[in-house]
Amino acid sequence: TRTPDQNAKLHAMISDVCRCKPEGRAWNTDKWKVGFLAFMGQEVEMLPGLEGSPAFPYGFKTSRLTTRECADLIECIYAYGARHDVNWSEPHDG
């Protein structure tokens, strides 16, 4: 599974994206994480909400990613951030 360093980098990057609000999206970090996982093709199951409430994601966990999958996710976030002028809190070393 992903390494502790990958975990720290991933969470820092998602926080950076969250602060930038690309595309006008004022999402919290959990929403960004699910959005990036879905964008990468990871299966994100949507369950119907209770009593007519909105659908919600189930089954996504970045802790289950392999080191390669996590590296790919980090690169995806860097690419997205580059297209949307995200200022990173740490330098891109990949």
pLDDT in tens, 22-52: 999 999 998 899 889 888 888 778 889 888 8
Residue 56 and residue 44: Cα distance in Å, rounded?
Answer: 10
d(CA 29, CA 64): 18
Residue in 5, 9, 8, 3 with CA at minimum distance from that of residue 74: 9
pLDDT at 38 (0 to 100)? 84
pLDDT bracket for residue 93 (50, 70, 90): low
Q: Is the pLDDT of residue 94 over 60?
A: no
Note the Cα 31 to chain centre separation in Å.
8
| Mean pLDDT computed over 53-68 | 84
pTM here is 0.81
